[in-house]
Amino acid sequence: MADSKNPLSEVRERIDSIDRQIQELIAERAERAREVARVKGEGLSAIDYYRPEREAHVLRMVVDRNNGPLSDTEMVRLFREIMSSCLAQEDPLKIGFLGPEGTFSEQAVRKHFGHAAYALPLGSIEEVFQEVAAGHADFGVVPVENSGQGMIQVTLDMFLTSEATICGEVELRVHQCLHSLSGNLADVKHVYAHAQSLQQCKTWLRLNLPGVECTAVSSNAEAARMARADEQAAAIAGESAGKIYGLKTVAKAIEDRADNTTRFLVIGRSLFPPSGNDRTSLLVTVNDKPGALYDVLSPFAKHGVSLNRIESRPAHTGKWQYAFFIDVSGHIDEGNLKEAVAEIRPSVASLRVLGSYPVALP
């Protein structure tokens, strides 16, 4: 094996040399990150020089440069971790999220802040807002939208009564698949899944497995375990769960909405400069009179600003007032959006910029 002509040992020597170079570069990167801290002032915590717009820019360059063989997702993940380690040389970022540990929300925290940040599991979405407001957490991560189920109202409503800003967004994509031991649709007599997954796939189930009994269980992992024990059963779960539990995939992407994504917001206490590809969230309250919504929306069209989302909620501030959560493309400091917002202000009861933040990476 030590023979220099052995192709395996040649490859391994080359990998050792690559690792040496990677390590030197990471060490230098960490050193330079300390320089950034020194330029900004000695003895600061990570929160004092964490720049989400800079991180987003760095990660977008990583995606642009990527030619494989690793996927964009894996390469971004590695750079996220390198930045996370470099940043955590000072007092690490503290991130509040809807606990307990091991949930989808924690995955979103790790996807956005890496594993060198402190993740702080909290009991409710309200508590995440409170902990950020009180400064116990530097940022919070809260779910705001499931593409199958719509906006999460409790999160939106928190913005009506709190001063929280939006500093980022995170998307986790989940494709639901149907898995069974045989992998044949004809064998399936029962379907197990978490209630939410059954809900997300109900059209597919009705069309492809009419009359088949569907049972809600505590998790999709539990469903996969049950399917493994019963040849007539199938489980709805993510793509990897099938592989993990040794099941064959009967059908892929069976969710009713093709893009089954959960979207999270990163909340904080300040606003950040443009990253080059941003989204802006606005909270607008209007008095209930004819044409009110039209007055809000027409300036966006006029100034060529794309509208990404709009959601109305009864405002807590007064009777017969409505609040609109509006997501648009661009940063509030950039020309056309700035102009559109200036035009809207006079015609509405209130307008608050919740945040301008980098568009989520894959």
Cβ atoms < 10 Å from Cβ of 1 = 6
87 and 112 Cβ atoms separated by less than 8 Å:
no
Interface with a copy of itself, residue 303, by CB under 8 A: no
With CB under 8 A as the contact rule, the residue among 159, 189, 244, 319 that binds a copy of itself is: 244
Give dist(CA 193, CA 345) in Å, integer: 47
Question: Which range binds a copy of itself by CB under 8 A, 89-97, 206-214, 279-287, 350-358?
Answer: 89-97
Interface with a copy of itself, residue 22, by CB under 8 A: yes
Interface with a copy of itself, residue 150, by CB under 8 A: no
277 and 60 Cβ atoms separated by less than 8 Å:
yes
Interface with a copy of itself, residue 212, by CB under 8 A: no
Task: Name residue 318's amino acid.
Answer: G
164 and 158 Cβ atoms separated by less than 8 Å:
yes
Interface with a copy of itself, residue 48, by CB under 8 A: no
What tokens were used for 92? 């690490």
Cβ atoms < 10 Å from Cβ of 194 = 19
Question: Which range binds a copy of itself by CB under 8 A, 36-44, 169-177, 298-306, 339-347?
Answer: 36-44
69: cis peptide before it, omega within 30°?
yes
Question: Which range binds a copy of itself by CB under 8 A, 65-73, 156-164, 184-192, 316-324?
Answer: 65-73
Give dist(CA 59, CA 64) in Å, integer: 9
Question: What is the nearest approach in angstroms of a copy of itself to the Cβ of residue 267?
Answer: 17
# residues near a copy of itself by CB under 8 A: 69
Interface with a copy of itself, residue 78, by CB under 8 A: yes
Interface with a copy of itself, residue 27, by CB under 8 A: yes
Task: Name residue 361's amino acid.
Answer: L
Q: Is 266 helix (H, G, I), strand (E, B) or coil?
A: strand
Q: Site residues (CB under 8 A) for a copy of itself?
A: 7-8, 11-12, 14-16, 18-23, 25-36, 39-40, 54, 58, 61-62, 65-70, 74-75, 77-79, 81-82, 85-86, 88-89, 91, 94, 99-103, 106, 110, 115-116, 118, 120-121, 136, 221, 240, 243-246
